[in-house]
């Protein structure tokens, strides 16, 4: 590593950090201002914070249930996508199946679909086709968990593939020679070796599911509504409740922050689709 | 070697889920794209009109304009992100106190929900309450109104995108730079290559796969973006920020022109797949050459 003047680096990075943090800080400032103050001269410094918005949001039973829904849906979806993605990648990396590379590329095309138009078919399928008796998939947590697979499962597969390709096949073969069953090889030999890749996939899919808005806004109306959709409910025709909106944003941000902080160091590998061998 | 049957069994759940929630809706959209249909109109019957929608799209200036705006947006945003991301990644290659903290701060925007990013920038830019227009006006006498000026709105979206996604580029490039072998650089220095030659002939080709991967991810997501833009500008003023994702959204929701909206989606999806496939092949090319 080159020796550089640390002062310059620190000044440079402080500036970059200021630019990065300012919008987040501003979000917080708005969230602790009473509505009447919003339209006066914008004040950069925080003076006399007002916690009314937080009390209001926290006291709102509906928003609390949205938060629980968000947690259940993103956790369920992240687990499902990571596990299924792992199995799929094991198959893609170990077997000589016809057309598997095309299949691999096809999975990601599911993520490319412009979402607006797919809302209606999904809505129709979930109300009319995917229903048993009185049970319909629309507006259920399990329904949202499955719908989110359309963008998270391809992502999980593309993120995990390099990890699995990187584990030598000889390991599996040696275990087979020793008489281990396929299930045992997959769960007891390959799975533990993939742990870092799996952790990254789990976290990233969790964050994507947590942040999703458009699908949740259309495919849920009460029972499975998520926190991000709560945001838009405060943009009304009579005006926007900026303070509440900012407060919900802060509430949405915090869990993602905590989760992300846990794996910050390992996150890079997951974002490059294997173009970089770490 | 085990039989391929196990492979298919392992793949089956993935294929089933993607079939029911990806393929079936897609087939439906393709079917609808050959119809004239407004499900919320007084007469909600689907009228088959052959390839009329597809013929219409070629001459549809609104659609072509949205494609143009999107291409412009992707070009501006992705190139700026690559340049800024590269500079920051290089800056991270040196040791300095507090590096870990600065890196963590720099990654924060990545985890923010697009809809929240949209609202944050809306809070900062809305003329009556926003801090940025206020101080630009007070200090420099510049009036910025994203509700009125197309240039201001477009620029704001680009700046927002750079703010949101540069960290991804930086992280990817850091990973690429860290994994570079030192030998070619030393050799080039011994041979008397200057900095510029080293950059263009050694660094660039070696980090190219990472760059292509980043462009792949950004392109894929930029073409379907709705939340952020919808929240910030709603596609306006006029059609200044009506990217294809937003255009489809407008066609389907406020106008409820569902048949035609489906046609646009099919075309856009097709174009996205082609563009991404080309990038994917480029990304794999150096690896295949080695094998």
* pLDDT score, position A1: 45
Together in a domain, A140 and A250? yes
* pLDDT score, position B143: 76
The pTM of this model reads 0.86
Together in a domain, A125 and A196? yes
Return the H-helix or E-strand segment holding A188. Answer: none
Together in a domain, A41 and A59? no
Together in a domain, A37 and A136? no
* Residues of chain B found within 8 Å of residue A6, distances taken between Cβ atoms: 96-97
Asked whether residue B34 is domain-assigned, the answer is no
Asked whether residue B104 is domain-assigned, the answer is yes
Please check the confidence at residue A32 and state whether its pLDDT lies above 90. Answer: no
Mean pLDDT of B247-257: 81
Together in a domain, A165 and A243? yes
Burial B185-213 (b: 16+ CB within 10 A, else e): eeebeeeebeeeeeeeebbeebbbbbbbb
Range of the domain at A18: 1-50
Please check the confidence at residue A264 and state whether its pLDDT lies above 70. Answer: no
Asked whether residue B268 is domain-assigned, the answer is no
Confidence of residue A238 (pLDDT cuts 50, 70, 90): low
Please check the confidence at residue A267 and state whether its pLDDT lies above 70. Answer: no
Together in a domain, A86 and A31? no
CB contact (8 A) between residue A232 and residue B115: yes
* pLDDT score, position A10: 87
Asked whether residue B81 is domain-assigned, the answer is yes
**What is the domain-level CATH number for residue B183?**
1.10.3720.10
Together in a domain, A145 and A14? no
Mean pLDDT of A261-277: 63
Percent of chain A residues past pLDDT 70, beyond the cut: 88
CB contact (8 A) between residue B261 and residue A116: yes
Mean pLDDT of A36-41: 69
In the stretch 42-61 of chain B, residues with CB closer than 8 A to chain A read none
Asked whether residue A277 is domain-assigned, the answer is no
**φ, ψ of residue A239 in degrees (nearest 5):** 125, 160
Range of the domain at B244: 63-255+276-290
* pLDDT score, position A118: 84
Asked whether residue B82 is domain-assigned, the answer is yes
Q: Is B286 at the interface with chain A, CB within 8 A?
A: no
What ipTM was estimated for this complex? 0.85
Distance from CA of B214 to the nearest CA of A (A): 7
Together in a domain, A120 and A169? yes
Confidence of residue A239 (pLDDT cuts 50, 70, 90): low
Together in a domain, A94 and A28? no
**In this predicted model, what pLDDT tens digit does every residue of A179-200 receive, in sequence order?**
888 888 888 889 988 888 888 8
CB contact (8 A) between residue A213 and residue B280: no
Residue of A nearest to B265 (CA): A114
Angle, CA of B153, B155 and B159, to the nearest 5°: 115
| B140: Cβ contacts below 8 Å, ≥ 6 apart | none
Do the beta carbons of residue A266 and residue B107 sit within 8 Å? no
Asked whether residue B200 is domain-assigned, the answer is yes
Asked whether residue B5 is domain-assigned, the answer is no
Q: Which residue has the higher pLDDT, A233 or B190?
A: B190
CB contact (8 A) between residue A87 and residue B283: no
Together in a domain, A29 and A66? no
* pLDDT score, position A278: 41
Confidence of residue A268 (pLDDT cuts 50, 70, 90): low
* pLDDT score, position A88: 95
Structure tokens at A227: 């926190």
Together in a domain, A76 and A153? yes
Average pLDDT of chain A to the nearest whole number: 84
Look at chain B and count its residues. Answer: 291
Please check the confidence at residue A46 and state whether its pLDDT lies above 80. Answer: no
Please check the confidence at residue A11 and state whether its pLDDT lies above 50. Answer: yes
Residue finishing a domain among A50, A71, A88: A50
**In this predicted model, what pLDDT tens digit does every residue of B63-83 receive, in sequence order?**
899 999 999 998 999 999 999
What are the DSSP calls for B175-234, one per residue? HHHHTS-SHHHHHHHHTT--HHHHIIIIIHHHHHHHHHHHHHHHHHHHHH--HHHHHHTT
Asked whether residue A276 is domain-assigned, the answer is no
If one counts the domains in chain B, the total is 1
Together in a domain, A115 and A24? no
**In this predicted model, what pLDDT tens digit does every residue of B157-176 receive, in sequence order?**
999 999 999 988 888 888 88
CB contact (8 A) between residue A121 and residue B28: yes
CB contact (8 A) between residue B252 and residue A117: yes
Asked whether residue A22 is domain-assigned, the answer is yes
Residue finishing a domain among A31, A50, A69: A50
If one counts the domains in chain A, the total is 2
**What is the domain-level CATH number for residue A221?**
1.10.3720.10
Do the beta carbons of residue B169 and residue A276 sit within 8 Å? no
* Residues of chain B found within 8 Å of residue A277, distances taken between Cβ atoms: 179
Confidence of residue A73 (pLDDT cuts 50, 70, 90): very high
Asked whether residue B213 is domain-assigned, the answer is yes
Q: Which residue has the higher pLDDT, A79 or A52?
A: A79
Query: Which of A68-82, B40-54, B269-283 is least confident?
Result: B40-54
Average pLDDT of chain B to the nearest whole number: 84
Q: Which residue has the higher pLDDT, A175 or A84?
A: A84
């Amino acid at each position: 590593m080159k020796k550089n003047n640390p002062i310059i680096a620190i000044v440079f990075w402080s500036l970059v950090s200021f630019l990065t943090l300012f919008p987040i800080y501003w979000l917080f400032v708005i969230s602790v201002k009473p509505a009447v103050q919003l339209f006066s001269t914008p004040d950069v410094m925080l003076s006399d914070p007002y916690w009314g918005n937080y009390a209001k949001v926290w006291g709102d039973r509906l928003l609390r249930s949205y938060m629980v829904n968000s947690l259940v849906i993103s956790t369920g979806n992240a687990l499902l996508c990571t596990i299924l993605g792992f199995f799929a990648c094991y198959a893609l990396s170990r077997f000589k199946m016809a057309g598997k590379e095309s299949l691999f590329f096809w999975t990601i095309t599911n993520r490319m679909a412009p979402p607006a138009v797919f809302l209606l078919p999904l809505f129709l399928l979930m109300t009319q086709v995917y229903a048993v008796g009185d049970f319909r998939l629309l507006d259920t947590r399990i329904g949202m968990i499955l719908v989110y697979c359309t963008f998270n499962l391809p992502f999980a597969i593309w993120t995990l593939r390099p990890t699995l390709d990187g584990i030598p096949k000889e390991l599996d073969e040696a275990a087979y020679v020793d008489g281990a069953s396929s299930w045992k090889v997959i769960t007891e030999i390959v799975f533990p070796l993939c742990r870092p890749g799996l952790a990254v996939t789990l976290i990233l899919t969790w964050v994507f599911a947590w942040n999703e808005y458009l699908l949740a806004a259309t495919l849920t109306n009460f029972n499975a509504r998520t926190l991000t959709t709560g945001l838009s409910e405060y943009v009304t025709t009579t005006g926007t409740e900026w303070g509440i909106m900012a407060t919900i944003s802060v509430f949405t941000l915090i869990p993602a922050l905590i989760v992300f902080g846990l794996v910050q160091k390992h996150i890079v590998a997951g974002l490059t689709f294997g173009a970089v061998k770490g | 070697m085990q039989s391929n049957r196990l492979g298919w069994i392992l793949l089956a759940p993935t294929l089933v889920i993607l079939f029911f929630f990806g393929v079936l809706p897609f087939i439906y959209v393709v079917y609808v794209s050959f119809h004239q249909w407004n499900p919320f109109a007084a007469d909600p019957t689907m009228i088959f009109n052959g390839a009329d929608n597809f013929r219409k799209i070629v001459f549809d200036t609104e659609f072509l304009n949205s494609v143009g705006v999107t291409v412009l947006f992707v070009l501006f945003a992705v190139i700026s992100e690559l340049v800024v991301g590269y500079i920051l990644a290089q800056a991270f290659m040196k040791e300095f106190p507090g590096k870990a903290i600065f890196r963590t701060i720099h990654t924060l925007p990545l985890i923010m929900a697009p809809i929240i990013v949209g609202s944050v920038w809306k809070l900062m830019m809305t003329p009556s309450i926003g801090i940025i227009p206020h101080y630009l006006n007070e200090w420099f006498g510049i009036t910025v109104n994203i509700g009125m000026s197309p240039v201001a709105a477009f620029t704001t979206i680009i700046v927002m995108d750079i703010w949101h996604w540069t960290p991804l580029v930086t992280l990817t490039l850091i990973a690429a730079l860290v994994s570079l072998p030192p030998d070619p650089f030393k050799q080039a220095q011994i041979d008397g290559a200057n900095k510029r030659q080293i950059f263009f002939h050694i660094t660039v080709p070696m980090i190219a796969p990472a760059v292509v991967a980043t462009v792949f991810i950004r392109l894929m997501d930029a073409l379907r973006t709705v939340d952020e833009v919808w929240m910030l500008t709603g596609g306006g003023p006029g059609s200044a920020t009506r990217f294809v994702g937003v255009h489809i959204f407008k066609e389907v929701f406020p106008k409820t022109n569902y048949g035609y909206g489906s046609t646009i989606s099919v075309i856009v999806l097709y174009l996205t797949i082609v563009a991404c496939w080309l990038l994917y092949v480029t990304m794999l090319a150096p690896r295949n050459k080695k094998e």
